[in-house]
Amino acid sequence: MEIKVPAVGESVYEAVIARWLKKSGDVVSKDEPLCEIETDKVTLEVTSEADGVLTTLAAEGETVKIGAVIATIDARGAESAPAAGAAASAKSSPAAAPAAEAAPAKTAPKGAPPPISPSGRKLARELGVEPQDVQGSGRGGRVTREDLLKAEGAGPAPAGGQPSVQAQPAPAVKSEPAPAPPSRPAPSPSQEAERVVRKPMTQIRKRIAQRLVSVRQQTAMLTTFNEADMSQVMLLRQKYGEHFLKRHGVKLGLMSFFVRACCEALAQFPDVNARIDGDDIVYHNFCDIGVAVGSDRGLVVPVLRGAESLTLAGIEQRIAEYAEKVRKNRIAIADLEGGTFTISNGGVYGSMLSTPILNPPQSGVLGMHAIQKRAVVVGDEIVIRPMMYLALSYDHRIVDGQGAVGFLKLVKEYIEEPEELLLEG
């Protein structure tokens, strides 16, 4: 049976074998993941379509066309594989390795330098003593500092067998010491390879780089900021969180509140929900909200279709489903396409404040940040409240400053008084 690169979208024509989860000769089961492939949009797992023995035909890092055969599965080989495995196991048993048992005891080869520490070798060079000429008195014959000092002061015995009175070298000799060795020797090729690692960019990272550069070059992006008091949202989550989880099977998070707040604000500020198409502005009478999800291979933005009609529970369930797909590399191109507005939560990584970048061709992206307790003025009093900085990046070609500020202010108001959102959801 042939394993082919699956079609993942109309605009995707090739993929890269990111890594093999199984290797040639492995026995695999139906629906077991075989490898991960990367396109410029997603990372996917290719699974086995039958039980059998795998033979890979493409190497890791190789670029392959959609529909290309990258492996085969021999269903007939599955029966003989266990016997082969048993034979291999027998070869690795103790009875099969007499040569290893007959190996001689560990002894230093004749003429080999005695054991000595790095500091000892340095001292030996400074004293001009050859370690192999020194009889070590330490454990296992190790040459100690005292051994080196004794060897330096010994020198050749005088005639008549009497010990030398002057054991130390003359001061004149000390005035011209041998040049000290370099403090850090030049690294060997293997050490140099460890210091610098070069890896090819993944297809997703290449695509991200291209899109980010194009945003800077082709949009008039600006960012406006505000802050929101998260007290009421946190209170509602604490008060109703357990009931919400039991009823809907998913936790009540922050993102659902922000998605609902953005949908309400987008209805009143349609420019933020629009895009440029040639010389036209295309307005959307719906809210397909992209929610940025981080992965070990890059940022992906699955889209919540028709978010304006979703409840808080519906939003949290969709987000949980997408997060699971991303974790298992099962996200599809269709899950990422489209979108009229994006929300990015840098606060989960500890970000205090940032300027999120647009997701073209959208004209707006909201950045959430970490919640921190700060002193704020409420009425005429200074109080401590959990505050979050909010950032709206927008395309100034479509959205003017007044609309951007008004949109972000309305989001702030919904977050600070979320009862209406909760009652509707």
Residues 261 and 232: their CA atoms lie apart, in Å, by 14
Residues 417 and 260: their CA atoms lie apart, in Å, by 12
Residue 102's SS3 state is: coil
Residues 353 and 389: their CA atoms lie apart, in Å, by 6
3-state secondary structure 42-58: CEEEEECCCCEEEEECC
Residues 161 and 102: their CA atoms lie apart, in Å, by 48
Residues 6 or more apart whose Cβ sits within 8 Å of residue 66: 5, 6, 7, 8, 12, 13, 14, 15
The answer to whether 36 and 43 have CB atoms below 8 angstroms apart is: yes
Residues 8 and 45: their CA atoms lie apart, in Å, by 11
Longest Cα separation, the chain:
111
26 is catalytic: no
Residues 318 and 314: their CA atoms lie apart, in Å, by 6
400 is catalytic: yes
Name the residues annotated as catalytic: 396, 400
